[in-house]
Copies of this chain bind each other. A is one copy, B any other.
């Protein structure tokens, strides 16, 4: 059996490794356009901030160490240009050697990932305008910062990566302005929770311009100003476009592989596409929202990893399922953690769930124990059943714990009362006799 994998970051390498574990005999060949494989995309902001000093720390494997460990062939600088599903062939360019070639597969896993969106803003060709996606792109940003020439940076987009980069630039002594089209930062959060993050950013010296977008970039060769749609002129030596990413599906679509409304490849729970023997996984593929049972595209490393594993197992002859996701996300923004899982009230209502929300403020642990910090929790509960369907947590240390407990609660359709009753661990350095997650359940149960 011959298994081809296109892409060697999170999903591709997970797929190849799991395929090998599932099938000792198969020939497994991974085609990767770039040179770096299996890099920590989520670690890039920390590489730029110098929290991670060495580039190598971002790379779990080199092509060689991965190939040796898993007994697969890893062809870097191989860009796959065409899939021919009828002939079960893929055709590639070997970039380094300017050669072309083909490979006949029995099973194919597409893990082409996603790329940063770069709208054709006037002035985009100026120096020092970046996107952040690969280690290469991070190298370029880090080099610019290391040059010492960057005093002011403007970040376009206040999503997870945009805000992580606001922290990273600030850590490097750069004055940061964030421009966001929506009226709030972190658009996946409810406005009142996002407001807590905005306040924290401003307290840390980050300037926010909300409800405004880029009109153009101004400067002569070097970027000098970001000019917004409303006419604001922001001085900037560097701009980071962090508007969002789009699934890399061109190759798949040309081969007749179906793409969903999200723009990512449609897959079932086995990670099969509409074409026989072709799987898709990771940032290029959709998942299922476990609460609405609808396709959803939330490209994250954790999902890519799991999907890759499932696709690899199935391609190699196994029978695995990726159930779906809760859209759980988390980010560290200076001293604050912001995390979300499940549905917002708006999303619940859009999905036909009659819901209400509860918001509480609690301490991460006993008030008398050092390091006590406030945590804001919001829960979305179904009115009739009292089942929790969504949560947001914003606060100090221990916020990550509560989102994971709440994600597990949502996965299990726990009621508000059950959330209060579940026997969470208490000792003063870790919690209070009534854990914040339990208090959220308690307050919601009262409203039922």
Please list the residues of chain A having a beta carbon within 8 angstroms of any beta carbon in chain B: 10, 40, 42-43, 46, 51-52, 57-58, 160, 290, 300-306, 322-332, 337, 339, 341, 366-370, 398, 400-401, 403-405, 407-409, 411-412, 414, 418, 420-431, 433-435, 437
Contacts and interface: CB of A to CB of B under 8 A. Distances in A.
Best-surrounded residue of A46, A325, A339, A341 (most CB of chain B within 10 A): A46
A235 to B, nearest CB: 31
A13 to B, nearest CB: 11
A275 B240 CA distance: 71
B40 A427 contact: no
A427 B40 CA distance: 10
Nearest to A326: B423
B369 A434 contact: no
Nearest to A331: B427
A91 B324 CA distance: 61
Contact of A404 (B370, B425, B428): B425
A332 B324 CA distance: 35
A370 B408 CA distance: 27
Contacts of A421: 306, 322-323
A335 to B, nearest CB: 11
9 interchain residue pairs of minimum CB distance: A330-B425, A412-B412, A302-B426, A401-B401, A305-B433, A57-B368, A326-B423, A400-B430, A408-B408
Given A40-B368, A368-B43, A428-B40, A422 B401 contact: no
Contact of A305 (B304, B332, B429, B434): B434
B327 A58 contact: no
Contact of A46 (B326, B369, B411): B369
Contacts of A405: 404-405, 408
Given A323-B421, A422-B408, A428 B57 contact: no
A306 B425 CA distance: 13
Contact of A428 (B42, B411, B428, B429): B42
A325 B301 CA distance: 35
B42 A423 contact: no
Contact of A424 (B369, B404, B431): B404
